Structure 1
């Protein structure tokens, strides 16, 4: 793809360990004569503004070099436009890249796909009027663990999330959810609810195991109220997707989902969205990705 490529980069991905991977990727992208520019914002809002400005100028691609959070930010800039999204996984989980069949551990191979790949048209979904997501929206136990971890200053890295999980489990109680799925109303106490355009989040948790990003539908997983011991036994099954057969798990598909629950904050693609209620609605064919 000789032409103009805008690279949206997060040098802090993987705790800063991805910084040394960026320059070789840029050299690979420039190998065939492409004009490559790099976008690094001073904040998430600044990076988004810069990315939107770049997309408005009509590059041949906007490439996200980072993890799912950066892909989420890039989707805000390209969804609904003709500019394709390239993804060079350089984060911790890289679940969206995995769902698209991209190499998750080889940044140079991912750069080659940007240069040689063809645009694939997939779905994205709106959360309210102003935000998009490409992967998974979660709310309930998992989002409360995120909230707790984000308030902590110690320990560093993934250990913080393990401590937050243990602390949240001690006080957690099932949450009364009300869901409207294309007019079908479900009211149920649940441990968590996930809405997936793709199948996994959180570094490989296949919470919506059958979700595909181009079927015009969102998959909904509801893990109903279970005792804490049963929850601890069931939750690890999410890494294989085998939780789908548990009697407390309900799965549905819908185009438009409204979630209501008291005291619950939602996360999309690992990024904080805000308190529910919220509405997720799929927009078929709204995203072009290089695969």
Structure 2
């Protein structure tokens, strides 16, 4: 069945190889019988505007070609609509694709996933008018994200590991005030994340076990511990084994308000802004091709 596909691209993705990959993906999708239009904004806002117009015009599928930042832009357009979301990963982390089993190092394989059109309806998170698909980092993890974004080298997962080692020596526990489904709680934490999926930061499974289709958000709290103990446990976040550590806590909620002094939150690797922020889970907000 022929489908109308809009391909939202980022010319800087894939370390400058996006144009070549874009052309190959377009050829692959058209060979599968689909109509393809390429959308390439000059900046983030123009990309979102182009994507929203395509959705308003009734496009069947919006495909994000790039990293989790490009995915974040696409999500702003498709959330709560009947337009399906496809992903062709080309970024540094590609955690959304990782969580949903979409090929991360094979763009044409990911294009084939889009072409086959097997849909899975998942939840999205919303804070104000902003949507996100993966995880909101609101502590040490956000500081690592900011540091990683400023690094030109290395590429891939190692960037986040080096950023972690750079930030940790000067980090201390943050006093948080949380409202968990309306129940207030105060807690000091090294790290606090609000997760829809089970991976962020280039494969860090800090929210291991989070499900994107359970109608809930996983609030992950890492309680204060020594830096030496943190470094000892940190390698376990690649496998999810850290969830057995006594400093780890998970609370599943439909909505959460997170407040703390001098903390900037990130989601899908993109800057959201300063706390406090209220995040709610919107169940089944988008259908993803997987």
Tell me whether the two structures share a fold, i.e. TM-score over 0.5. Answer: yes
Residue by residue, what CA displacement relative to the aligned partner does 1:203-242 show, whole Å, maximum 9, x if unpaired? 1101111111111001111001111111111222111111
Q: Which secondary structure state, in structure 2, belongs to the residue aligned with residue 47 of structure 1?
A: helix
Counterpart in the other structure of 1:21: 21
CA gap 1:164/1:109 in 2 versus in 1, 3 angstroms: closer
Give me the whole-angstrom Cα distance separating, in 1, the residues matched to 2:98 and 2:205. Answer: 11
2:145–2:201 CA contact under 8 A, matched in 1: no
Given that residues 2 and 115 in structure 1 are in contact (C-alpha distance below 8 angstroms), is that contact kept between their aligned partners in structure 2? no
2:36 pairs with 1:36: yes
- For the residues of structure 1 that align with 2:226 and 2:201, how far apart are their CA atoms? 23
Q: CA deviation at 1:160?
A: 6.8
Matches within 5 A, 1:261-276: 261-276=260-275
Q: Which residue of 1 aligns with 2:63?
A: 63
Note the C-alpha offset of 1:157.
4.1
CA distance in 1, matches of 2:222, 2:197: 18
Q: In the alignment, which residue of structure 2 is the partner of 1:136?
A: 135
Q: Which blocks of at least 5 consecutive residues in structure 1 are unaligned? A: none
1:161 Cα offset (Å): 5.5
Take 2:214 and 2:103, find their aligned partners in 1: how far apart are those partners?
Answer: 23
* Contact preservation (8 Å) 2:140, 2:190: yes
Count of residues paired in the alignment: 288
Q: Is the 8 A contact 2:141 2:192 kept in 1?
A: no
Query: Distance in 1 between the 2:113 and 2:64 partners?
Result: 13
Which 4+ runs in 1 deviate beyond 3 A? 154-167
Separation (CA, whole Å) in 1 of partners of 2:178 and 2:269: 21
How far 1:103 sits from its partner (Å)? 1.4
Which shows bigger deviation, 155-164 or 108-117? 155-164
Shift of 1:89: 1.4
Alignment gaps of 5+ in structure 2:
none
- Other structure's SS at 1:8 match: strand
The answer to whether residue 208 in structure 2 is matched with residue 209 in structure 1 is yes
Distance across 1 between alignment mates of 2:154 and 2:278: 32
Q: 1:147 to 1:212 in 2, by over 3 A?
A: same
Structure 2 residue 113 is the aligned partner of structure 1 residue 109: no
1:99–1:149: structure 2 CA closer, same or farther, 3 Å change rule?
A: closer
**Is the partner of 1:59 in helix, strand or coil?**
coil
Structure 2 equivalent of residue 260 of structure 1: 259
- Over aligned residue pairs, what C-alpha RMSD do you find? 1.7
Q: Secondary structure at the match of 2:246?
A: coil
Q: How far apart in 2 are the matches of 1:146 and 1:136?
A: 12
| Counterpart residue number, 1:175 | 174
**1:116-136: CA deviation from partner (whole Å, max 9, x where unpaired):** 122221111101x21001111
Q: Distance in 2 between matches of 1:163 and 1:93?
A: 14
What is the TM-score when the length of structure 1 is the normalising length? 0.93
User: Superposed, which structure 2 residues align to 1:216-227 within 5 Å?
Assistant: 216-227=215-226
Partner deviation per Cα, 1:253-283 (whole Å, 9 max, x = no partner): 0000110111101000111101110011001
How do 1:68-147 and structure 2 match up within 5 A?
68-127=68-127, 129-147=128-146
Q: Distance in 2 between matches of 1:180 and 1:156?
A: 38
Cα distance in 2 for partners of 1:90, 1:160 equals: 15
Is the partner of 1:71 in helix, strand or coil? helix
Tell me the TM-score normalised to structure 2 length: 0.94
Q: In 1, distance between residues paired with 2:284 and 2:162?
A: 40
Shift of 1:244: 0.6
Q: Secondary structure at the match of 1:258?
A: strand
